[in-house]
Amino acid sequence: MCEFCIQHGEGKKWYLTMRNYSRELWEQCNRAEYMEDFGAQFEVRCGTAVAKLDAVKSIPVVYRFFRRMAMHKNKTLHWGQIVPIEDVEQILEMQDSIVRMPCVCRRLTTGRETRYCFGVGMDIMGMFGKYPDYSHGLEVLEKEEAVGLVRSFDKQGLVHSIWTFRTPYIGAVCNCDQDCMAYGIQFKTNLTQIMFRAEYVATVDWNKCNGCKKCLLNCQFGAIGYSNTMKRPTIDMNRCYGCGVCRSVCDKEAIALLDRAQFATLPW
């Protein structure tokens, strides 16, 4: 159970609580306006702020202060969590509208339009329809289509994550890899924390495993190592984000996800 599960979860995982996707919640706190501004000005706002934070990285005490402040702001405004495929399927089952849209992160980091993100539970057409950059890439999906797409992304090794727009409202399911800004900010450069790890952590069953090393290639977070003496891979639990993507390439089904909460010292 992460911090948000206790605050917004009603005893369950917070992203499986219907209330966090409800129309009622969306109408509070000016969320529609916030989301429109978020999407339309993402490159300018996010890019500039990250570049500034990156520039002060070498000033010791000052950087710690801004890092903490950014984390606190992110938690109230736009926070994410890694979610394995089973939970994404459950999330998509709960929605009444799913829209596939262009990924804002990849527009920033690669300059290309790639449609890896899903807007859930709200009518994004009404908001992003005003911006031609986004409107021609929007596509309304059926639940089955969306689930099929997420499964194919899982096979390609993309990590699924959910994103809040003014916590606790969840508005987007993203499929990230190393081009993603969140990956860059939190994992690659460790500028600040912007998302939680999943509620799970992966372990490998050495009896089922045949040591084919396929999972090593699919881990986005560099958590899987290989012991040449034992001819088996090991998963570093401290590095594992619990995305479960390594399972999709395992022919022997040797990798399983355990509950992260049962290991008291693992980071979120």
Residues lying near another protein in the complex (CB under 8 A): 30, 33-34, 37-38, 40-41, 43-59, 62, 66, 69-70, 73-74, 77-78, 107-112, 130-133, 178-179, 184, 188-189
Minimum gap (Å) between residue 71 Cβ and another protein: 9
Nearest residue (CB) to another protein, 112 versus 231: 112
Find the shortest distance in angstroms from Cβ 57 to another protein.
Answer: 5
Minimum distance from CB of 129 to another protein (Å)?
9
| Closest distance of CB 65 from another protein, Å | 10
**For another protein, the closer CB: 74 or 175:** 74
Angle at 83 between CA 78 and CA 86, to 5 degrees: 145
Which C-beta is closer to another protein: that of 44 or that of 217? 44
- Compare residues 18 and 77 and give the one whose CB is closer to another protein: 77
Q: Which is nearer to another protein, 19 or 188 (CB)?
A: 188
Alpha carbons 147 and 151: distance in angstroms, whole number: 6
Smallest separation (angstroms) from another protein to the CB of 175: 18
Q: What is the smallest separation between the CB atom of 247 and another protein, expressed in angstroms?
A: 27
CB of residue 188 to another protein, shortest distance in Å:
7
Nearer to another protein, 42 or 206 (CB): 42
Q: Which residue lies nearer to another protein by CB, 58 or 207?
A: 58
Give the chain as a 3 state SS string: CCHHHHHHCCCCCHHHCHHHHCHHHHHHHHHHHHHHHHHHCHHHHHHHHHHHHHHHHHCHHHHHHHHHHHHHHHHHHCCEEECCHHHHHHHHHCCCCEEEECCHHHHHHCCCCCCCEEEECCCHHHHHCCCHHHHCCCEEECHHHHHHHHHHHHHCCCEEEEEECCCCCEEEEEEECCCCHHHHHHHHCCCCCCEECCCEEEEECCCCCCCCCHHHHHCCCCCEEEECCCCEEEECCCCCCCCCHHHHHCCCCCEEEEEHHHCCCCCC
**Rounded to whole angstroms, how far apart are CA atoms 116 and 172?**
11
